């Protein structure tokens, strides 16, 4: 990444640091975008005149609330809930909810900020937002998760809606949590407003392919990057970090496209399976039984588990980080490149540190940043909203084709935009510039709001 920033942008960045103290992840996400858009401001001086950058970096609205709930022992628990409604230039705020003990305002703001540009890249009418809580779902009973979700929605319901803000899942929030939140929203509003949440169950307004969409989409994006280099997944050894929703469906699509995933992980350790990850076993352990990845080796005797291991030390040709932010540092990136990695596709949001990104770009490998590579999840959420609006439900094949076509278009848009601004092959510049221009033009059109 070009670590030098346009001088005037550096000044804007320093102001943002001062206005948002202690939010390291938000600063990181802003810096990455500002480093990409110097040439955009030269082409569109009106963006500077209208102070689009200062406005885009300031959320339209931030909601922070108390979430009290009773655990199974009858003890009172208190968590903090967040919803940051970042930008509505292109449509209702759209973005997931994350339940993880590390969640604080800086995480929600980095995710919401990235979401603005990601959602713009999908080409669909959705603005950017994000939310969540420092609630830790690990070790909680089903009833505890339900009581938490009901309490969370008892506060959130008044700020969301089909035309205002449409939350979905992220880390720690999947179909079960969306179900409990939808139930409580319906109860509080006396309305069956299906389009208020996405990632719903298939029997009550959900879309086929939404569960698979982020992992499938990220894999389609990497397939496009490989194609641009006259290459493909066929016969490639791959690693996929994490073992949650995004990781599982990344493994599934890589295997369908002829690659072999040999390692995945969770926050405790790494499994390595030379014969290729057994997808059905992974789904059984993680989706149906909610167990840890370490249990995998109890069923596949030739596989190994390393507690506290580093998945990026496992040699691969394609790496798909699908767990969390900053999981690949500069050293990990150097190890990947040294071991022959030729493509990185980010299923997770901001999984690579700025030092890591620089290593990938300097090495000239195909590097697909999260806001482009993982946009298939939110894009399919927007397809779910379309189906809800027309009370329709599309087939798996039809929806998957739409997803594949959206990912192809995003790839092409990033490629062409990078070239236009003098950074051929740099998908970071391509994604940031293309997403930013679309949102900025809409903001100019809407006047000073």
User: Which sequence positions are flagged as catalytic?
Assistant: 130
Q: 76-87 and 128-133: which strand pairing?
A: antiparallel
Selection from ligand NDP, ligand 2IT, none that 386 binds (CB < 5 to 8 A by kind) is: none
- Residue 14 CB, nearest distance to ligand NDP (Å)? 28
Identify residues 227-246 at the interface with ligand NDP (CB under 6 A): 242-246
- Residue 197 CB, nearest distance to ligand 2IT (Å)? 9
Under 8 Å between Cβ of 350 and 325? yes
Only one of the segments 60-68, 77-85, 89-97, 413-421 lies at the binding site for ligand 2IT (rule: CB under 6 A); that segment is 89-97
Residues 6+ apart with CB under 8 A from 282: 243, 248, 251, 264, 296
Selection from ligand 2IT, ligand NDP, none that 223 binds (CB < 5 to 8 A by kind) is: none
Sole binder of ligand 2IT in the list 94, 109, 200, 260 (CB under 6 A): 94
Phi, psi of 379 (to 5 degrees): -60, -45
Selection from ligand NDP, ligand 2IT, none that 171 binds (CB < 5 to 8 A by kind) is: ligand NDP
Classify residue 7 by burial, with Cβ atoms within 10 Å: 0-12, 13-18, 19+: exposed
d(CA 11, CA 155): 38
- In this complex, which beta carbon is closest to ligand NDP, that of residue 107 or of residue 440? 107
Identify residues 93-112 at the interface with ligand NDP (CB under 6 A): 100, 102
Selection from ligand 2IT, ligand NDP, none that 348 binds (CB < 5 to 8 A by kind) is: ligand NDP
- Residue 170 CB, nearest distance to ligand NDP (Å)? 5
Binding mask 287-326 for ligand 2IT (x = CB under 6 A): ----------------------------------------
Q: 93-99 and 128-133: which strand pairing?
A: parallel
Q: Residue 129: which of 149, 115, 147 has the closest Cα?
A: 115
- Residue 126 CB, nearest distance to ligand NDP (Å)? 13
Element (H, E) at 389: helix 375-390
Q: Residue 328: which of 302, 303, 311, 351 has the closest Cα?
A: 351
- In this complex, which beta carbon is closest to ligand NDP, that of residue 96 or of residue 430? 96
- In this complex, which beta carbon is closest to ligand NDP, that of residue 142 or of residue 268? 268
Determine, following the binding rule CB under 6 A, whether residue 169 of this chain makes contact with ligand NDP: yes
Task: Give Rg (Cα) of the chain.
Answer: 21
Instruction: Give the count of beta carbons closer than 10 Å to the beta carbon of residue 379.
Output: 28
Selection from ligand 2IT, ligand NDP, none that 153 binds (CB < 5 to 8 A by kind) is: none
Determine, following the binding rule CB under 6 A, whether residue 170 of this chain makes contact with ligand 2IT: yes
Q: Site for ligand 2IT (CB under 6 A): how many residues?
A: 12
Selection from ligand 2IT, ligand NDP, none that 347 binds (CB < 5 to 8 A by kind) is: ligand NDP
d(CA 161, CA 359): 42
Sheet holding 128-133, edge to edge: 61-70, 76-87, 128-133, 93-99, 165-168
SS3 content of the chain, % helix, strand, coil (to 5): 50, 15, 35
- In this complex, which beta carbon is closest to ligand NDP, that of residue 41 or of residue 357? 357
Beta bridge partners of residue 352, listed in sequence order: 328
Determine, following the binding rule CB under 6 A, whether residue 378 of this chain makes contact with ligand 2IT: yes
Under 8 Å between Cβ of 393 and 387? yes
Instruction: Give the count of beta carbons closer than 10 Å to the beta carbon of residue 330.
Output: 16
Binding residues for ligand 2IT (CB under 6 A)? 94-96, 115, 118, 168, 170, 198, 349, 377-378, 381
Binding residues for ligand NDP (CB under 6 A)? 100, 102, 169-172, 214, 242-247, 266-268, 322-324, 347-349, 374, 377
């Amino acid at each position: 990444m070009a670590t030098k920033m346009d001088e005037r942008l550096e000044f804007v960045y320093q102001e943002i640091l001062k206005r948002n103290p202690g939010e390291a992840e938000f600063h990181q996400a802003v810096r990455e975008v500002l480093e990409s858009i110097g040439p955009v401001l030269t082409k569109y001086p009106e963006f500077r005149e209208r102070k689009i950058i200062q406005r885009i970096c300031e959320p339209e609205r931030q909601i922070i609330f108390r979430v009290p709930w009773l655990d199974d022992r009858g003890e009172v628990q208190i968590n903090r809930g967040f919803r940051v409604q970042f930008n509505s230039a292109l449509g209702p705020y759209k973005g997931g909810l994350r339940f993880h003990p590390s969640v604080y305002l800086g995480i929600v703001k980095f995710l919401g900020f990235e979401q603005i540009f990601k959602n713009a890249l999908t080409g669909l009418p959705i603005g950017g937002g994000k939310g969540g809580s420092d609630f830790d779902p690990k070790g909680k009973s089903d009833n505890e998760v339900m009581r938490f979700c009901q309490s969370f929605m008892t506060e959130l319901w008044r700020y969301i809606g089909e035309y205002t803000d449409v939350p979905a899942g992220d880390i720690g929030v999947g179909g079960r949590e969306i179900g409990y939140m939808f139930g409580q929203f319906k109860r509080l509003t006396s309305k069956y407003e299906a389009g208020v949440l996405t990632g719903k169950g298939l029997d009550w307004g959900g879309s086929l392919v939404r569960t698979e969409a982020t992992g499938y989409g990220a894999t389609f994006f990497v397939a496009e990057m490989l194609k641009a280099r006259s290459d493909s997944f066929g016969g490639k050894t791959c690693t996929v970090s994490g073992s949650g929703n995004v990781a599982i469906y990344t493994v599934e699509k890589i295997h369908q496209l002829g690659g072999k995933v040999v390692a995945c992980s969770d926050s405790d350790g790494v499994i390595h399976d030379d014969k290729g990850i057994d997808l059905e076993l992974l789904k059984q352990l993680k989706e149906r039984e909610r167990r840890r990845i370490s249990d995998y080796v109890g069923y596949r005797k030739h596989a190994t588990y390393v507690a506290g291991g580093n998945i990026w030390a496992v040699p691969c040709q394609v790496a798909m980080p699908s767990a969390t932010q900053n999981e690949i540092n500069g050293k990990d990136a150097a190890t990947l490149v040294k071991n022959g990695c030729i493509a990185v596709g980010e299923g997770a949001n901001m999984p690579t540190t700025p030092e890591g990104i620089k290593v990938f770009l300097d090495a000239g490998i195909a590097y697909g940043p999260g806001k482009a590579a993982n946009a298939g999840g939110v894009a399919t959420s927007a397809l779910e909203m379309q189906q809800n609006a027309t009370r329709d439900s599309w087939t798996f094949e039809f929806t998957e084709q739409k997803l594949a076509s959206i990912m192809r278009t995003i790839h092409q848009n990033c490629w062409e935009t990078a070239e236009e601004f003098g950074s051929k092959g740099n998908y970071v510049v391509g994604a940031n510039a293309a997403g930013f221009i679309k949102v900025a033009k809409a903001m100019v059109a809407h006047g000073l709001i």
